Structure formats: structure tokens, C-alpha cells
Amino acid sequence: MSALILGALMVTATACGGGGGSGSGDTKDKGSGTDGTKKSQAVVTIAPKNGADAVDTSGALKVTAAKGALTEVEVKDGKGREVAGTIAGGGATWTPSTHLAAATTYKVHAVAKDSAGLTSAADSSFTTLTPKNTFVGHYTPENGSTVGVGMPISIRFTRGITHPEDVEKAIDVKTEPAVEVRGHWFGNDRLDFRPKEYWKPGTKVTMKLDLDGVEGRPGVYGKQTRTVSFTIGRNQVSTVDAKTHNMVVRRDGKVVKTIPITTGKPGYDTWNGQMVISERLTVTRMNGETVGYGGEYDIADVPHAQRLTDSGTFIHGNYWGGGTFGNVNSSHGCVGLRDVKGGYDKSVPAAWFFNNSITGDVVIVKNSHDRTVAPDNGLNGWNMSWQEWIK
């Protein structure tokens, strides 16, 4: 009698094991029990195999169907978040639309139907790799900020990127109202996004960074997932004329202020071109040694300073310039506006301009004897044509 019981148990175990898989997941065929119904001929295969560990975040996940067509594929992580994907080849394959996150367990459920309409299902679970080397992107502008019409999205990566297409694909920029926004790489560690023309005031911009699990270079993976939103404020563009020594401030196309200025003296001429305010400092120290000018100057308390380039060009208050404003170019390359020591007087031109500016405002310099500023020297990609930007 014991032998009969053992034999029955063995038959039961075989029936519960399912069929059609290749060790890739548990297959469950509807109507394949012992009630005499027909068994589906469809075979679902899930790669990677059930229980797999240290799975690559890209290219490893694939679901296929033989002798039938996939009708449903569901992939979820441990928090229940679904992975989007596409069934192709008439139901022969399913692949994810994006990369997977690192160090994450995923569960896969897939269903296929054969020519007779009978279904077969398979389930699997696997865990992605935990990277030893990672990178993140430091971005501007800040979440929740209101910025000027010239502000690009600029992301600087902590490691040089050799798979730029994969990284760029993991960054989604949407606007309201909708406008085309395209990315441009400066070298292998910086990616900027901007529209063809300056942003329209009031535009809402949302950037989603989905870098977790992206292989930016061999063996180096992103570890960042973040959503950043900002708003475009009013349109303020100020034009500095190095020849007439004046700056005209236009807001929403209308002149609101004309300010006497000084720019770079011969040999230290100010860059020409479109420059974006990237940093605002109520007071800062300016030392010529930090920009290659040796000990020519060291001013501990420069007031109302707003950065225009990474190389050290500012538009700032100047309390030592005497009668140069509106008359002569006397600086080491910056744009100077009349100010007082300590910057306490709100009525002076430098204070007015500082208090009426925001990060992302545009300052255009013309008629200087220097060349146009490089697009990657600060947030100054507007000095590239749209054709150059998108190629």
C-alpha cells in the first residue's frame, strides 16, 4: 500500500510542475489539470531564469512565446511599480521600454494564447545587480525655483559618460505649454537642455531623472531618481554696449532702465555674446590669481555680483571706479556698475540691477574687442545655432 501512495504522490508532483518552460519560470496552463480539458500548446519563456541574481539592468529581461502569442506581460518591482514594455513580432516577444533599477527584485507574470485560444502562463522573479561604481548628475536650476528666460537645464556628471545615448534617454523633459526641448553634450560629463528660442514667460518645466541602473560607462551605473520642476518668470534681457558704455535693460520687450557701465579695458576685453546669470552673490571676494591675472587685484568685498561665465566674468557693483561708468572701459573683463562700499545704498545702479534680476536672466554684450564667449563657459549655449545644438 505504501508503494501505491508513493506512486500517486509522484504523479501529482509531475502534474503541478507545469510544462513548456526552459527553467525560466513557473508555467501554469489553464485547463491542464486532471479534468480532461485540453492543454495549451503555447510555451512562455522568461529570461533571466527564476531566482537569478546580479542581473544586468539593460538587455537581460526578455519574454518570449512559442507555439502561441503573448497577450499579457506584467513586470513589477518590490514596491508594485510597473515596468513599461512592448509586445512585438505578433506576440512573439516582449521587451522593457527602459532600463531596470539596480539592486531591485522584479516579479514577472506573462500569459500567451495558442491557435486554439487556450492560454498558458509563467511567473518568474529575479534581482538586478548591485553596482560597485556609481555616478550622479548635479543639476541646475533648483527644484521649485523661478528663473529667467535664458536658463537651460544643465547636468554635470560625476563620472565621464561613454554611453551618452543611454543616459540621455533616461532624462525626460516636459513643458507646459509644450515646446521642443533638446539636449546637447559638452564633453563627456555635461549635458544641457534648452528650447530653440528663449523660454516663454510662465512656462512650467519638469525634468525627470531616471538614472538608477543606467550604465553610463562600463561597470559604472547611475544611482539617482529625481523629479525637478521650475517656472520661467518674466522676460528680462539686458544689452551691454562696450562702445557706448551703457546697458539697456528690457523687460517683456520694453526698456525699463538704461545704466552707465564699464567693461574690460584693452587686453582684458569682455566676452561678446549671450550670457546667462548663473549665480548671485550679495558680496564676494575677487582675486586675480583665481582667473590667471596674478596679483593684479584682490578685492574682498565686491558687492552685488552676478556670475556670467565659469571663467570668472561677472556683472557686479563697483565702488572704486570713479568716473569710469558711461565713459571708459577699465575692468579686467567684468561688467561694472556704480555702487558703494558695503552695497548698502539701494538707489545706486548696481543695487537696482541686482534686486531686479533673477538667475537665468540674459545679459548680451556687444561691440567688445574680444571674441564671442564659448557656449560651455557658463550656461551660455545660446551662442550656438539650433542646428549646431541638435546635431
Active-site residue list: 316, 334
DSSP string, 279-321: EEEEEEEEEGGGGT-TTS-EEEEEEEEEE--TTS-EEEEESS-
SS3 percent helix, strand, coil of the chain, rounded to 5, is 10, 40, 50
Cβ contact 334:315 at 8 Å: yes
Sorted by sequence, the CB contacts under 8 Å of residue 80 that are 6+ apart come out as none
Cβ contact 52:42 at 8 Å: no
Question: How far from 33 is each of 4, 29, 39, 70, 110, CA to CA, in Å?
Answer: 21, 8, 8, 22, 19
Strand partners, 193: 153, 183
Amino acid sitting at position 359: T
Helix, strand, or coil (residue 64): strand
